[in-house]
Structure 1
Amino acid sequence: MSDGRLPRRRRWVGWTVGIVLTLLVLALGWVTIRGIGAVDNLTHVAEQSSDLKAAIAEGDLDRAADVSGSIARHAASANDLTSDFVWQGFAAVPFVGPNFRAVSDIAAIADSVGTDALTPLLDVAAEVDLASLGLSGGAIDLAPFATIREPLAEASNVLDEALERAEGIDADATLPPLADAVREVRTNVTEAATVVGTLNGAAILLPTMLGGEGPRTYVLAMQNNAELRSSGGIIGSIALLRAENGRISLERQASTLDFPPLTDPLPLSESTVALFEDGPGRYLQNLTSIPDFAEAGPAIATRWEGVFGGPVDGVIAVDTVVAKHLLDAIGELSFGPFTATSENVVNILLSEIYAAIPDPVVQDQVFAQAATGLFGAALAGGDPRALLGALATSADEGRIRIWSAHEDEQSVLAASTVGGTLPADTDAGTHVGVLINDTTGGKMDFYAHATVATAIGSCAGTPTTQVSVTWTNDAPADAATALPPYVTGGGNFGVPPGSTRTLVAIYGPEGATLSRADRDGEEEPVQTTLLGTRSVVQHDVLLAPGESTTVTVQFQGDGAGERINSVVQTPTIDPPKATREELRCTS
């Protein structure tokens, strides 16, 4: 006969379930409260990051230090709230775990960057008077670089580690709002790591490269983005710089007419010949078609030495848009019949000059005046902080490339953004690239623009990376008659006036192989080669005014289907931004 009580085993099971449910409810409440606090702190970090960028850009280091301190406090709080054993336990739960891990990773990254990179950097920046760089009169005081070198190196290491961790977060495994936050953090850390890494490299290299241990000479190649080449544009003018004890002077300017085509071309890599035949080896103007500046730089130096003698210590290539960034810091500049500002200098140098001055020889003279005036104004009257910001922006957009004839310096440059070398893939992410080279024989790329889209995933069970480039000729309908022959090419290279002919090359992740290439959905003959271990596919595109076309390439195998770390692109006048799209698998 029962006394109404549950059997001992059932009571034990009931108590256990009750305790577990109670603990689970308590744990959920715990992580919810802490999660709300962490998200609130991270929101403050995100909002104040924009304030910090603005303060640094304006040179207001006092405000930057205050904002940085606030960022560090909020980031540390978020990290504390998401690093206890309860939070980490939820991070191990299937399905929801990636969201908890992502929040704790973001908080840890923000804490590391705020505490170990931003704060020390701003502390040392407050001790260094940027005006002491002494840009007035063309001299740069090299002493401050000794002060900032160690903090920059430490901050660069912290940011590199933070970037590696940020790239390791699988945003696609998290909820959409959190995925956007992960990508934003990754973008911000990438920008910071790029800028600080560049400054760190500069602190290491500049004292020597600016002649601190003896005079140096550098060839300065100025690229014209209205006629695109892989690294930015055709070489339109060229000059020789001299650096000694931090003092920079313009020693000589030359025209491309001083460099006639070579009967025997310079030796080129197999990949360069496969893409462009021997043109870069014969014509100085086309040396910037070479995708890797570690190959292009010494070739440019060889051409200069062949005409004017040498040796030279290095080569610096810049494009026209650098002038826009510099004028943001300098103000107005007059040359020839023009008065240029940051708002109109690109239009003047890449379009208006051809209508106002039909004679190419006189055009070259005005280009030389512009280069001399810009160079002189930057050294004589620019605000150092604004100039450094302009150069950092230009480098970040890939508009400055530097090669050194000195092996120790070149090894540092090759690992930086200004080295212009092909990127290396890592376990954290892969790179793809888009190279654009004009073959119109004119200056029609002022009217052209590109958009780039990437996609990753799996097709037929095989990891796949897809890159699509849409190339558009936005020239006016009457371009054939409205634009000067020097701009349209005048039909001299087999391209109808007003049309553009362009080589659009796309390369994939290291080790991946081409699986499909099409143009507007239709397959057509293409050029293929290897850039190192990267497969590259090049389409020859002819477009009339108003026409547009989309080239799509898919890569499969090793390295494909992984997270895309970045898209390396030819720096066009208005740089295309890469977007993400759905992978299109075809039978």
Structure 2
Amino acid sequence: MQNEDQPGGTPEEQKAGGPERYAFEAPQRPSGVEFKKVRRAVAPGAQPRKTAKGRRRWPLITAAAVMLIVLVWAGMVAVQGVRAKGHLETAAGLFSQMQQQLQRGDLAAAEGTLAALRAETRAAHEQTTGVAWSAASHVPLVGDDLAAVSQVAAVLDVLASDALGSLLDAAKGLDPQSLAPQSGRVDLAPVVAAGPRIAAGLASIRSARQRLAGVDTGGLMGPVRTAVEQLGDGLARAEQVAATADRAAKLLPVMLGADGPRTYLVLFQNNAEVRATGGMPGAYIVVKADAGAIRIADQGSAARDLKVFDPPVQDLGEDLTALYTDRPAVFPADVNLTPDFPTAAALARDMYRKRTGVAVDGVLATDPVALSYLLKVTGAVTMPQGEPLTADNAVRLLLSEAYAKYPDPTDQDDYFAGAARATFDALLAGRGDPKGLLAQMARAAGERRLLMWSARPDEQATLAGTVLEGRLPEEDKDAPTVGVFLNDGGGSKLSYYLTEAATLTAGDCAEDGGRLLTLKLTLGSTAPAAGLPAYVRGLALSGDPHTSRTNVMVFSPTQGGILSVTSGGQEVDLGSGIERGRMVGVITVDLPPGASQTYEVTLLTGPLDAAQTTVTPHLWTTPGVRPWDTRVDAGGACRPNV
């Protein structure tokens, strides 16, 4: 290597004055002479060369600059995170506040809260977007958490700016008072106007759910994962509410005759003689609706006016016939031996058509317990005979005392028909607080005491999956569903005295990813040992006129089955069949007055979603005179052995 202090370089460099260097004439400085630094002679076009010391300095300066930039960037992200957290916490409080205002019906206050909510969610969204936050979302360890927070803020901003605004606008146009019947007519215009706004709000919620579903929560920190999961749960509930409103906005106008007259058969189920959907169809009324105007066009008794059909009105198919014989298609009182309301409703429609020549557009069903809920709002109604019907005495009068007061079945039918008409007239007159009526109707529907079926396939498709449909799901997609349904087996009215309790527990995992379920079922009787009217005692098929006989049907989850039934440690004989892809076990239970009987049923589900962290089964039961005592216990997820 050539020394920098010695002449060198190429011949061309030497001719040009040599390479860049310092030149000294001697190692010692003579007295009085100062040496000066000789200017560098640089060849034309040549670049100055750095010293080793200079080369070492620049990487340090660059590293320091980069570190400073990183610190500033990290600081910016941290500040944004703190600010976003504050906005999101404030937004959460405003969401809760708005929910309470909507429940109270204070729409003006809710509108003000929405404005403040929008400001907070917009600010949170702005703080979690931009170059700094986007870059940080790719940093190992914390990047996925920052990306998730950004998604949460974005979803909340969409909800506040789009979904809630649309739904609030719809609510402002749907004042319950405007929906109350006036002189037998419902104004359909507000519902028609609100429909597009409700649909837009529902679409926005579904879009937000889809966006949030793209967040992988597997590697998130606990608080962030919890926030994402809670938002997901909240969106699911919001979608359910909005979807119900959307269905109502689509169905209510057309079903009340917005596009032409409609006719409906309304069945009143007598819970004193239990059937799978609630009770034996007894009295009925036929309602006509035209452009919102509603009137009663006919009424009668299933047994007296519809009578018996020979041959059956429909071929039930092999599965239903094996379970119920052909009785549901022969006797109007037995159409709902099956818990599948669409099947029962179609049978009832055919029976009414064959007797009257009128093909109704749909069938509804309710019971005296639901009527008592409505009477809480309308107040007492005057009966054609006997004392006024009230929320407190309706169930007792209609399901028990009527049989002692009116021994003749014809008089009983007239009394039940009078009760149905009196309550319906009170509703059409607009009696009671509309908001309260809607709440009580929702309560009845939630208990499956209000069922609806449409003979028009497109409308029935809109009802599918709702509590009004009265049909077990075709597939247990989210959770296994078990049904426990009751049918009177003694031809009596002793079901009025039944008590029911059921506990459903998720147990061990099966090898295929399924789950063992344990159902503990207890039936009891509070019937007196003597003194009941002959019509209540009925046919006494159990052998004792005061002993009730009930056929209990247990429906397994889809793709599952019933493994065993025991009582007191002993195996119980079990009838079995298939309905709509579910195994059905049938137990006949005889209960003397004051007695009770407990059964333990072991069931198996089909394979469940391995991604679920917990499994909570669903339990459906027949609505009774009194609420069932039920409990459902969840279990951890099952994963198939591979």
Aligned to 2:454: 404
Q: CA deviation at 1:498?
A: 3.5
| Structure-1 residue corresponding to 2:607 | 558
Matched, 1:439 2:439: no
Residue 155 of structure 1 deviates from its aligned partner by 3.4
* Mapping of residues 133-532 of structure 1, within 5 Å: 133=179, 135-157=181-203, 193-256=239-302, 257-265=304-312, 266-335=314-383, 336-382=385-431, 383-425=433-475, 427-440=477-490, 441-459=492-510, 463-476=514-527, 479-487=528-536, 489-490=537-538, 492-494=540-542, 496-532=544-580
1:567 equivalent among 616, 619, 624: 619
Say which SS state the counterpart of residue 421 (structure 1) adopts.
coil
Preserved contact between residue 194 and residue 417 of structure 1 (Cα < 8 Å): no
Worse-matched range after superposition: 365-374 or 355-364: 355-364
**For the structure 1 residues 395 and 511, does the alpha-carbon distance in structure 2 shift closer, same or farther, using more than 3 Å as the test?**
same
1:136: how far off?
Answer: 1.1
Deviates more, 1:79-88 or 1:156-165: 79-88
CA offsets 1:281-308 (integer angstroms, 9 cap, x no match): 2211111222222222111011111212
Per the alignment, residue 633 of structure 2 pairs with 580
Instruction: Select the residue among 86, 96, 107 that pairs with 1:61.
Output: 107
Tell me, yes or no, if the aligned pair for 1:435 and 1:505 is still in contact at 8 Å. Answer: yes
**Distance apart, 1:429 and its partner CA:** 3.6
- Paired letter, 2:337: S
Question: Deviations for 1:162-181, whole angstroms, at most 9, x for unmatched residues?
Answer: 7899999999x999999999
Amino acid at match of 2:493: G
Q: Which runs of 5+ in 2 are unaligned?
A: 1-70, 637-642
**Is the contact made by 2:484 and 2:553 (CA closer than 8 Å) also made in structure 1?**
yes
- 1:542 is aligned to 2:595: no
Check the 8 A contact 2:480/2:605 in 1, yes or no.
no
Of the structure 1 ranges 394-403 and 559-568, higher mean CA displacement relative to structure 2 is found in 559-568
CA contact (8 A) 2:503 2:519 kept: yes
Per the normalisation by structure 2, the TM-score is: 0.72
Question: Structure 1 residues 87 and 309, CA, compared in 2 at 3 Å: closer, same or farther?
Answer: farther
**Following TM superposition, by how much is the alpha carbon of 1:150 offset from its aligned partner in structure 2, in angstroms?**
1.4
Structure 1 Cα separation of the partners of residues 569 and 147 of structure 2: 40
CA distance in 1, matches of 2:568, 2:79: 54
Q: 1:35 to 1:213 in 2, by over 3 A?
A: closer
Whole-angstrom CA distance in 2 between matches of 1:285 and 1:177? 56
Indicate conservation of the 8 Å contact 1:443/1:486, yes or no.
Answer: no
- Tell me: CA distance 1:362–1:108, structure 2 relative to 1, closer, same or farther (3 Å): farther
Q: Distance in 2 between matches of 1:102 and 1:498?
A: 64
Instruction: Count how many residue pairs are aligned between Structure 1 and Structure 2.
Output: 556
Deviations 1:250-295 (A, max 9, x none): 0111112222223323321433223322221221111122222222
Amino acid in the other structure paired with 1:472: L
| Amino acid paired to 2:166 | P
CA distance in 2 between counterparts of 1:174 and 1:552 reads: 41
Query: Any idea what the Cα deviations from partners look like across 1:523-557, whole Å, max 9, x if unmatched?
Result: 32222223333223232222232413134231144
Is contact 2:513-2:608 (8 Å) kept?
Answer: no
Structure 1 residues 79 and 144: alpha-carbon distance in aligned structure 2, compared to 1, 3 A threshold? same
Q: Could you say if the C-alpha distance between residues 159 and 436 of structure 1 is closer, same or farther in structure 2, counting changes exceeding 3 Å?
A: farther
Calculate the TM-score normalised by the size of structure 1.
0.78
Q: Secondary structure at the match of 1:310?
A: coil
1:551-577 CA deviation, whole Å, 9 max, x = no partner? 423114434997346333322341554
Distance 1:293 1:415 in 2: 12
Greater shift in the superposed pair: 42-51 or 393-402: 42-51
| Corresponding letter in the other structure for 1:384 | P
Aligned-partner Cα distance in 1 for 2:210–2:568: 36
Quote how far apart the aligned CAs of 1:481 are: 0.8
More off after superposition, 35-44 vs 354-363? 35-44
**Bigger RCO of structures 1 and 2 (CA < 8 A, at least 6 apart):** 1
Larger radius of gyration: 2
Cα distance in 2 for residues equivalent to 1:75 and 1:287: 53
Percent identity among equivalent residues?
A: 30
Q: Deviations over 1:506-537 (max 9, x none)?
A: 22332223334434543322222233332232
SS of the residue aligned with 2:419?
helix
Q: Per-residue CA shift, 1:160-217, capped at 9, x if unaligned?
A: 677899999999x999999999999888766654444333222212222222222221
- Partners of 1:397 and 1:144 lie apart in 2 by 28
Cα distance change on mapping 1:522 and 1:369 into 2, 3 Å: same
Structure 1 residue 314: Cα displacement: 1.5
Unaligned runs of 5+ in 1: 1-21
Higher helix share goes to which structure? 1
Alpha-carbon distance in structure 1 between the residues aligned to 2:500 and 2:146:
41
Determine if contact 1:42/1:107 at 8 Å carries over to the other structure: no
Distance 1:205 1:558 in 2: 36
Structure 1 Cα separation of the partners of residues 224 and 173 of structure 2: 38
Q: What is the letter of the counterpart of residue 566 of structure 1?
A: H
Distance 2:232 2:546 in 1: 41
Report the more deviating stretch, 407-416 or 511-520. Answer: 511-520
**Cα gap change, 1:123 to 1:582, in 2 (>3 Å):** closer
Q: How many angstroms apart in 1 are the aligned matches of 2:588 and 2:367?
A: 24
Which has the higher mean CA deviation after the structures are superposed, 128-137 or 297-306? Answer: 128-137
Check whether the contact 1:34–1:82 (CA below 8 A) recurs between aligned residues: no
TM-align CA RMSD: 4.6
Distance 1:337 1:121, change over 3 A: same
* Matches of 1:30 and 1:433, distance apart in 2: 54
Maintained 8 Å contact 1:262/1:282: yes
User: Residue 338 of structure 1 aligns to a residue in which SS?
Assistant: coil
Query: Could you tell me whether the CA contact under 8 Å between 1:217 and 1:313 is conserved in 2?
Result: yes
Give the residue type in structure 1 aligned to 2:311: D
